[in-house]
Structure 1
Amino acid sequence: MNRYAIRAIYRFEMARTFRTLMQSIASPVLSTSLYFIVFGSAIGSRMVEIDGIGYGAFIVPGLIMLMLLTESISNASFGIYMPRYAGTIYEVLSAPVSYVEVVIGYVGAAATKSVMLGLLILLTARLFVPFEIQHPVWMVAFLILTAVTFSLFGFIIGIWADGFEKLQIIPLMVVTPLTFLGGTFYSISMLPPLWQKITLFNPVVYLISGFRWSFYGVSDVDVAVSFGMTLAFMLTCVLVIWWIFRTGYRLKQ
């Protein structure tokens, strides 16, 4: 394992984050804070409790997960797309660095940025709504696992995309709607029976449900199923990335 190569890629990606603090850090925190102000403080004070939890506190895990998914995908996809766009990806491919080390460097940096943002938004939420974390270890585990999984997914999107507009198609047209329909602002038990069954085909339901369980001990789906679904999706992403480097898909063109 070439630790120097991993560290070089990782430090380069992290340095880019700190050069663009307003876009990378301040913007997601500000936009999520607006959700807390509108839904948590303004609307939440007029809403009934859900599963014995105040509405403002109930939506905290969902909003953190919404940010985590979109930022993980965005960070990882942009990180690998720019070397392809600029042509410097060939320097990486011709260097004595394995694809495992390349993936660890780029995905590790993207996941680190997402986890940092998640923790920062968690602290910001405390300013607007009171909440508790019953299972802090599991909360951190779900946070890291989700960040790594969707950073891998973003890495795939960054290789697949052949233009800047395609980098935003999946996050905006697929991931964000699935997150809003996956129990971010409500419990799926509030839906009619037919829609409850349909909603279970939404993979984001399992992420939000497991993450919310780590906060309040309540979930729409069994926590073991949530954890297993996340691991399964991560494994799928790893297999796709292995195939990409094995075949050179969009890397050697």
Structure 2
Amino acid sequence: MSVSSIYIHIPFCKQRCIYCDFHFVISKKKEEELINSIIKEIRIRKDYLKDKKLSSIYFGGGTPSIISTHLIKKILKNINEVFIITDNTEITIETNPDDINKKKLDDYFNMGINRLSIGVQSFDNEILKSLNRSHNSMQAKNSVEIAINSRIKNISVDIMFNLPNQDLKKLDESLNICFGYEINHLSIYGLTIEPNTVLHKRILQNKISKPSDEIFINQYNHIADLSEKKRIL
């Protein structure tokens, strides 16, 4: 038997981050309809991965953690009935800090989810607000602590660099907070400015200064050096 992976896209978010160019829906009125469509596609594709063990299942978005946990469970139940999930299958769900609580993580664990990806992006309140993120610094810290103390033992945190008004000091503050936690993985992404995003429009209107290529390179090299010393990434 060969192995394969499944990606499940959940296109719901509470609000739009200023750098986001993804298509998503704020209203969850049609979440049941969406999940039923996903399940229908899973059933239609039952022969597509025939006799293949699943190495991973990944719930991305959007914000998968925004929808009801029983719907995530419903998707996993149908995947399990059609494909081969083993004890070694990595099942990840992307989460926002303001969605995380002990009850939800217990529910995730009980349905088989064994890896969390937490979209922190920054621990700086001013930066989070400027990006129109739905959480604040305290919620970000609490979410990581709740995750670490949950029964899900594979925790990844997302941090961004090359952000407007983010100097090395602010970047280091977020990185050092991450290094202080016993997490398994740290994903670091450089900001890209996509056309027609709120960020792009504000840069054109001179409301936000565009980070220079030099800042990107300096922060990237700084992160690489720091991560090598900390032996993380």
| TM-score relative to the length of structure 1 | 0.27
Name the one with the larger helix percent.
1
Answer 1 or 2: which has greater strand percent. Answer: 2
Q: TM-score, normalised by structure 2?
A: 0.28
